[in-house]
Amino acid sequence: MTDSLDTAVAAAGLPAHWSWRVQVRPRRRTVGLDVLPDGSILIAVPPGARPADVAAVVRSRRLWLATALKRRADLSAEHPAKELVDGEGFEYLGRRYQLKLVDDLNALVKLHGGALVVRRPGTDQEGLAAIAQWYGSRGRRWLSGRAGAWAGRIGAGVPSVRIDDLGTRWGLRNRDGSVTFHWAAIQLPADLLDLVVVHELVHLLVSHHNDEFRRRLLLALPDAAELEARLAQVGRHVWLGAARGEWGHAAVAPRCGEFAVSGQHGQSARHRRATCG
């Protein structure tokens, strides 16, 4: 019975990467579709349902399914919480390093031998704060260097660079002509950091995300759209300082679509423009 139902649903033309299964439910009278927490689709059918009818229902609700799957994927956007234990992974410029706690180290935090070496702190919070601090100072150096390198090409002045906890944004242009970047940004791969830098540098010349902004951005980074899509994905999984088990992690609502730390797909361009600073 389910074999012929499976065959009929398989022929209904759902995208190949969607996973689904058919289940016959003795009490059901109609076909029911549900997106489960793991992102798979459950097709619940009444006994004796005709395969062609089930396939027709699935086909007719394809758009609804796409929306439900997207909503589920957005919910699973998750900034990880970290634990201060040997072997915990920490990203730096897009590469993953394992944490190694040591007792004797002349610095609080440093990269050494492919590991992120941290002097054993009094408390886990202290240790994670030291790592966040280290990210910030590494980030300031790296991002200042990149801002200096890009400024000339874009025709902007070389801005002074600050680091802060920007909550839901990667970068921010300040009224005094300086730019601020999120301390967590240095975890991103270098090409995505360039996108963040160039975006803010272009803002020094053009305030809003209008056509002129886009033109200048694409002139500097012809593949900006692809980088933005990757940033929206990768950015959702960047560590923002939460400790596992103790603090839980803070819910953050993106304010700026393109640079939202928790990338939100599907926002309209107009909405993005209206909400980006």
Q: In terms of CB distance, is 116 or 276 closer to Zn ion?
A: 276
Min dist. Cβ of residue 11 to Zn ion (A): 45
Min dist. Cβ of residue 66 to Zn ion (A): 28
Q: In terms of CB distance, is 36 or 225 closer to Zn ion?
A: 225
- Show the CA angle centred on residue 100, arms to residues 94 and 106, nearest 5°: 100
CB-nearest residue to Zn ion: 276
Give the whole-angstrom CA distance, residue 123 versus residue 84. Answer: 9
Q: In terms of CB distance, is 159 or 241 closer to Zn ion?
A: 159
Strand partners, 98: 89, 115
Q: In terms of CB distance, is 150 or 239 closer to Zn ion?
A: 150
Min dist. Cβ of residue 199 to Zn ion (A): 6
Tokens at 121, concatenated: 């702190």
Min dist. Cβ of residue 139 to Zn ion (A): 19
In contact, 31 and 46? CB cutoff 8 Å: yes
Interface residue list for Zn ion (CB under 5 A): 276
Give the whole-angstrom CA distance, residue 262 versus residue 273. Answer: 17
CA atoms within 13 A on the CB side of 49: 31
Q: In terms of CB distance, is 91 or 228 closer to Zn ion?
A: 228
Strand partners, 44: 23, 32
Min dist. Cβ of residue 276 to Zn ion (A): 4
Q: In terms of CB distance, is 43 or 276 closer to Zn ion?
A: 276
Radius of gyration of the chain from Cα atoms? 24
Give the whole-angstrom CA distance, residue 273 versus residue 277. Answer: 8
Please name the helix (run of DSSP H) or strand (run of DSSP E) that holds residue 119, with its range, or none: strand 115-119
Min dist. Cβ of residue 188 to Zn ion (A): 16
